[in-house]
Amino acid sequence: MDSNCRRQFLRKSAVLAAGAATLAWKGNLWSATEPHLTFPTAPRDRIAVASWPFRMFIEASTNKWARDPKFPGMDLTEFPAMVVKRFGVHNIEPLDQHFSSTETAYVKKLRGAVEKAGCHVVDLPCDVRTSFYDTDPAKRKMAVENGKKWVNVALELGSPSIRAHIGGSAKLKPDVARTVESLTQLAAYGASKNIIVALENDDNFTEDPFFIAEVLDKVNNPYLHALPDFCNSMMTHDQDFNNRAMEALFKRAYSIAHMKDEEGDEKGKFHTVDVAKCFEIAKAQGYRGYFSMEWEGNGEPYAGTQRLIDETLKYLR
């Protein structure tokens, strides 16, 4: 790492390390009372690049369904340096499916690659593999335990947060009470490690934005927040609904949001969103965290991600 990159990495590490909050004893865990991250203010420093748009390149056993052999492969440990070189961005958001392993040795190797590139991980999206509101208590417990595993990975990796899918199926109606019960436990564990748990409006049935808002309000833990995604709600709703969804989620967001300007559905139709309005809402709600570029549009991810970065810089200036 050259001296400039090293200074930038150390500065960002110090900023994120400022999240170490006052500790309080709760049961048998030391728990941070609330996160206190100090976010950068320079527009480019608030931008991250997600690994999800580059899934066709990522070599990992859990990514087989998305890997496209027509493209050259890369291990996730190569991703940080690529992001810095290609986009001049020093924050990344690696997806759980793109980890070759969750063993300590691999996570340390990935963290070493992040540090060498002068980067920092700002969020770790993960899937708990079952549902926080499953009617089976054993499956709900499994969801919580899987979430705890990723909290531990985030801690080892130096990420201040995880994004946990709520999970569910079309046959199972989302249930506030059961979700609250599960996420109360996971948020408490996250607090004990000073790791934020974020909920995204990803699946418009199991993760409806207003369902998420209700769950967050009932859990009422400063380590459980929203992750607003600009375009996901547009897949099944209109711009007015999306505006209200963004208002509800940015009101409850803290450190991470997903920026995208369009997304394709299973039928190949692309849905676009009013990006300017999303940034306007984020600003009005006092959001100061990161915007992760999660390109989902038509074309290839390098050009698409650059377009999102250019758009974001325009609105953050």
Is 25's pLDDT higher than 50?
A: no
What phi and psi values does residue 62 have, to the nearest 5 degrees?
A: -85, 0
Tell me the percentage of the chain whose pLDDT exceeds 70.
90
Q: CATH number of the domain that 285 lies in?
A: 3.20.20.150
Q: Which domain holds residue 7?
A: 3-316
The pLDDT tens digits for 51-87 are 999 999 999 999 988 999 999 999 999 999 999 999 9
pLDDT at 4: 47
pLDDT at 26: 44
pTM > 0.95: yes or no = no
Write down the residue that tokens 């199926």 correspond to: 169
Is 192's pLDDT higher than 60?
A: yes
The pLDDT tens digits for 249-260 are 999 999 999 999
**What are the Cα distances from residue 255, in Å, to 28, 141, 161, 172, 184?**
27, 26, 8, 30, 19
pLDDT at 267: 83
Domain total of the chain: 1
Is 143's pLDDT higher than 70?
A: yes
Q: How confident is the model at residue 310 (pLDDT cuts 50, 70, 90)?
A: very high
